[in-house]
Amino acid sequence: MSANIPLVVRLLASSVSVANRAGKIVRDVMSKGELGIVEKGKDDYQTEADRSAQRCIIASLAAQYPTMTIIGEEDNPDNGQEIPSDWIVVEGDSEVLQLSCPHHLKGIQEKDIVVWVDPLDGTSEYTQGFLEHVTVLIGISVNEEPVAGVIHQPYYKSMVDGEKRMGRTIWGLKEAGVGGFTPAPPPDSLIITTTRSHSNPIVEKALQVMDASQILRVGGAGYKVLQLLEGKASVYVFASAGCKKWDTCAPEAILAAAGGKLTDILGNFYKYGSSVTRPNKTGVLAAVNNELYEYALSRIPQELKDALANK
């Protein structure tokens, strides 16, 4: 890769390529049928696919960007095993390498960047067979702010030049654009997307106040943001702790690159520096444009905000 291409663009191109490889690992683990499920906590699982995909992504990025901070969801996923050489991906996506880098990101160095890796978002859904909900997330933050990201969907089916294709990779770079999918306008009526596996009474209260025509209950932060980008839902509402920085970094960056917004339920942006606490304690609120976002925020009652903030 040319050293003349700004670091952020090279890193996004590398992230697109390695997310594709990680997606193949996710499919391969499922085809073998040995998921190796570990219970990390209540409603919180890890599989061999989460572990292996994270090893592939972190080893590949660390080999190319040795001084950059990379934070993955899974703790000690390698268990002392060596990484297969074909898991190390070092070429970058050629389309992304052509992107023109926003001026203020041109001089960014590895020390200014924190990469947040969710090797498999939607693990509950993966183990239950809702495979379309599963994504691989790589979020790039610069000086605490998400600026670029990748959402790879390993089980997305499409036809390309008359041939069946499995998997697609959506990317975004703030102030430069998005790719890998066809953006669509939001639906005509208010459709909310929310959790299917992590609900509670406050989550339900925040859905009731929206006065929506439909509520979609699907898995994963990545998949819900894809629904916003593709015009299948208007707003993503999750009034609970549960998501962590690796769940929201890539989706927030891509939504912002598409003109949208992702914050907590109080309307505050999360920060993504290496020392932040991992949990997104005050939930998630997101939309593909400002009008829908402001509408949703205006519907959240103060006592609900207080309940989340004081938990």
Ligand X SMILES: Nc1ncnc2c1ncn2[C@@H]1O[C@H](COP(=O)(O)O)[C@@H](O)[C@H]1OP(=O)(O)O
108 vs 135, beta carbon nearer ligand X? 135
190-229 core/surface letters (b: 16 or more CB in 10 A; e: else): bbbbbbbbbbeebbeebbeebebeebbebbbbbbbbbbbb
Chosen residue from 93, 121, 252, 264 binding Mg ion by CB under 5 A: 121
203 vs 292, beta carbon nearer ligand X? 203
Residue from 171, 272, 162 nearest 229 by CA: 171
Write the CA distances from 249 to 157, 208, 210, 262, integer angstroms.
25, 27, 25, 9
18 within 8 A of 92, measured Cβ to Cβ: no
**Residue ranges in 167-206 that form contacts with Mg ion under rule CB under 5 A:** none
Q: Does 118 bind Mg ion (CB under 5 A)?
A: yes
Choose the stretch contacting Mg ion; rule: CB under 5 A; options: 123-131, 182-190, 193-201, 252-260: 123-131
195 binds, among Mg ion, ligand X, none (CB under 5 to 8 A by kind): ligand X
Radius of gyration of the chain (CA): 18
135 vs 169, beta carbon nearer ligand X? 135
197 binds, among ligand X, Mg ion, none (CB under 5 to 8 A by kind): ligand X
Q: Does 154 bind ligand X (CB under 6 A)?
A: no
**Residue ranges in 211-230 that form contacts with ligand X under rule CB under 6 A:** 219-221
Is 263 in the active site? no
**Count of Cβ atoms closer than 10 Å to residue 230 Cβ:** 16
| Residues 8-47 as x/- pattern, contact with ligand X by CB under 6 A | -----------------------------------xx---
**Residue ranges in 186-205 that form contacts with ligand X under rule CB under 6 A:** 195, 197-198
Amino acid identity for residue 275 in this structure: S
Instruction: For the CB of residue 257, give the shortest distance to ligand X in the complex, in Å.
Output: 21
| Residues 37-76 as x/- pattern, contact with Mg ion by CB under 5 A | ------------------------------------x---
Amino acid identity for residue 265 in this structure: I
Q: Does 123 bind ligand X (CB under 6 A)?
A: yes
219 binds, among ligand X, Mg ion, none (CB under 5 to 8 A by kind): ligand X
For residues 233 and 263, give the distance between their C-alpha atoms in angstroms, rounded to a whole number. Answer: 17
Is 93 in the active site? no
Interaxial angle between packed helices 48-64 and 7-32, expressed in degrees from 0 to 180 and rounded to the nearest 10 = 150
Instruction: For the CB of residue 300, give the shortest distance to Mg ion in the complex, in Å.
Output: 23
Chosen residue from 243, 254, 287, 304 binding ligand X by CB under 6 A: 243
8 vs 272, beta carbon nearer ligand X? 272
* Residues contributing to the site for Mg ion (CB under 5 A): 73, 118, 120-121, 123, 247
**Active-site residue set:** 50, 123
